Structure 1
């Protein structure tokens, strides 16, 4: 049984690491494109789906998409393991189930990105561009109670955004790092990257949640947009270039934080 637990932990470790690498690439690209926009060298305010479509146009884009799709699938499997096997030992009280539900939702969101990678690999780019955020939101609002469901989703994003800011402030990520197995880790640098990245992601999630809630309140699907629209909103504020630049650097740092987790993240398994 001990060997089985060890094998499960090894599998989860490799799965989590591959997933964090894929996630890190996406956030690094998002941040880099936003930073290029800020300094006037092209770029764009892109979300994760936009970035995946851009990667498809790169040299060897389909090969990169295949690798990223596998990494994202691994991340989804790890999130589902956290949710259903309780590998993080969150427990069965209401708080534990809420956290495990968050893992499952996160897995579902990244499953859509993995599916998009597969679609771009096996079909033409034009076929993958059929539905956007506004169209999906319009469909959601068309079902009974869809407006309130959209509002609830927006509030979840706001809650996650605040949670990311709290994690950055309290340095809660430290408990998930197995630093003792790495000789002389550059801890101040790792912490600076983690705190900046989590704070930037928290800000963007607050903006996304606000846009979703606004769409539900106004019954306007066009207001419901993702990360790209949140970055565009920042860019059009007073001192927008500075705001967008700061968040862009933060999203690049969050990509770095994902790479840190690929190497340092402690992966647990459920006790029996």
Structure 2
């Protein structure tokens, strides 16, 4: 009888252990939140760190430009090139960057389709639109990093100029370019709202440490407003290209920041935007640590 009970106890323990292992494996594969899997969530948080690092590098390049240096490109490509310049270690780091950024993009695409279940109505719609924009942004950085790793030639202005040139050849091309400009400016407007209303705090866990909450409020607000200015400047360049029918007028972040310097006849706006982008980079570190996963 005792032998039978002992065997039953062993079977019960083995069954409980098997069930726990199954639940752990299921949690790892499927997760419990907006991320399509726990692995994607872990890599996605690493991608957020990479995204933050890119913003910090862009901020540094912007400050160098403000101080009189002439970095090749003050944008994602310039930041990627700075990492690649380290050598083999830099290229390996870029490979990790790409993996994390793609995972974070997958996380955001999933959230855009069916995420942000803790809010409803217009707020959920706005967050899903924001997730879509963020997925596109991080994929752009991932593509730039991939091209650098593969040794492909890059030109920060070539991409937008080719797009505008192609659109202008289509019927109603100027209107299409204008629509791109309006879309970019709408994105910039949502960033202004996000920064002022501090809605980004809703993406974090309910009760982060007080120091982290205060830092996130300041850094997130400053970062989103700086990004809004940068996106708005890009939108203006697209609008000018649409009005003049001239693809050479358009450009990405690098062209927009340099335009700020030339238009304002000074570096103050560039310094302010660069510091704001740096603040957003630090915010990404907090976001990676305290981001809500469900």
Equivalent of residue 199 in structure 1, options 203, 225, 242: 225
CA contact (8 A) 1:90 1:97 kept: no
Query: Which is further off, 198-207 or 48-57?
Result: 48-57
Residue by residue over 1:190-221, the C-alpha shift from the partner in whole angstroms, topping out at 9 and shown as x without a partner, is 32111111111111111111111221121111
TM superposition score normalised by structure 1: 0.84
Q: 1:179 to 1:100 in 2, by over 3 A?
A: closer
Tell me the alpha carbon deviations over residues 66-98 of structure 1, each in whole angstroms, 9 at most, x when there is no partner: 1111121112111211123x1213999798667
Deviation of the 1:32 alpha carbon: 0.7
8 A contact 1:37–1:45 mirrored in 2: no
Instruction: Measure, in 2, the Cα distance between the counterparts of 1:204 and 1:141.
Output: 24
Distance (Å, rounded) in 1 between the aligned partners of 2:129 and 2:206: 28
2:41 aligned with 1:17? no
1:121 to 117, 136, 149: 149
Please state whether the residue corresponding to 1:22 is helix, strand or coil. Answer: helix
Query: Scaled by the length of structure 2, what TM-score is found?
Result: 0.78
1:148 is paired with a residue whose SS is helix
**Using the alignment, how far apart are the partners of 1:184 and 1:109 within structure 2?**
30
* Other-structure match for 2:74: 46
Partner of 1:210: 236
Task: Please tell me whether residue 164 in structure 1 is matched to residue 188 in structure 2.
Answer: no
Q: Is 2:35 the partner of 1:7?
A: no
User: What 5-or-longer segments of structure 1 have no aligned partner?
Assistant: none
Q: Residues 98, 219 of structure 1: CA spacing in aligned structure 2 closer, same or farther, 3 A cutoff?
A: farther
Counterpart of 1:177 (choices 204, 219, 230) is: 204
> Partner of 2:15 in structure 1?
none
Q: Secondary structure at the match of 1:132?
A: helix
- Structure 2 residue aligned with 1:61: 90
In 1: Cα distance, 2:281 partner to 2:287 partner:
10
1:94/1:151 CA distance change after superposition, 3 Å: farther
CA displacement, residues 1-45 of structure 1 (integer Å, 9 cap, x when unaligned)? x98577243445324312211211111111111112212355465
Contact persistence 2:40–2:104 (CA under 8 A): no
Pick one of 73, 76, 90 that aligns with 2:105. 76
Distance 1:34 1:183 in 2: 32
Note the aligned Cα RMSD (angstroms): 2.9
Is the contact made by 1:208 and 1:227 (CA closer than 8 Å) also made in structure 2?
A: yes
List per-residue Cα deviations over 1:205-244 (Å, max 9, x = no partner).
1111111122112111112211111110111133521111
Distance in 1 between residues matched to 2:213 and 2:86, nearest whole Å: 35
Q: When the two structures are aligned, how many residues end up with a matched partner?
A: 264
Stretch deviating more after TM superposition (43-52 or 20-29): 43-52
What is aligned with 2:61? 33
